[in-house]
């Protein structure tokens, strides 16, 4: 339900029809409708195919860094 401004680097794309059932699409480009992010349904793994900026500059993707940190902390316990 949100839009992020990101830097793109499309040297390859993910074929959504090739994804296994335990992987879901989490981000889609509004520009070219390519898959921009994936999330594993049962394992602590996710990815994005763009350059999430943390700082300095835009903070649109900061939640990705927070999610990653939370997954690492969950893995410790």
C-alpha distances in Å from residue 9, one per residue of 29, 50, 51, 53, 69 = 12, 6, 8, 14, 24
Q: What are the strands of the beta sheet with 35-40, ordered from one edge? A: 23-28, 35-40, 46-48
pLDDT digits (tens, 9 = 90+) for 4-53: 777 776 778 899 999 999 999 999 988 889 999 999 999 999 998 877 66
Query: Is 68 within a domain?
Result: yes
**Domain count within the chain:** 1
**How much is the average pLDDT of 56-68?**
76
Report if residue 52 sits inside a domain.
yes
71 part of a folded domain:
yes
Higher pLDDT, 72 or 61: 72
Rounded to two decimals, what is the model's pTM?
Answer: 0.71
Q: Report if residue 4 sits inside a domain.
A: no
Q: Which structural domain range is residue 23 located in? A: 16-76
């Amino acid at each position: 339900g949100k839009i992020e401004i990101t830097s793109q680097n499309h040297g390859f794309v993910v074929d959504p029809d090739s994804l296994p059932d335990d992987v879901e699409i989490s981000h889609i480009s509004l520009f070219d409708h390519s898959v921009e992010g994936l999330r594993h349904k049962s394992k602590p793994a996710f990815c994005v195919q763009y350059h999430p900026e943390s700082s300095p500059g835009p903070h649109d993707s900061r939640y990705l860094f927070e999610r990653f940190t939370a997954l690492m902390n969950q893995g410790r316990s």
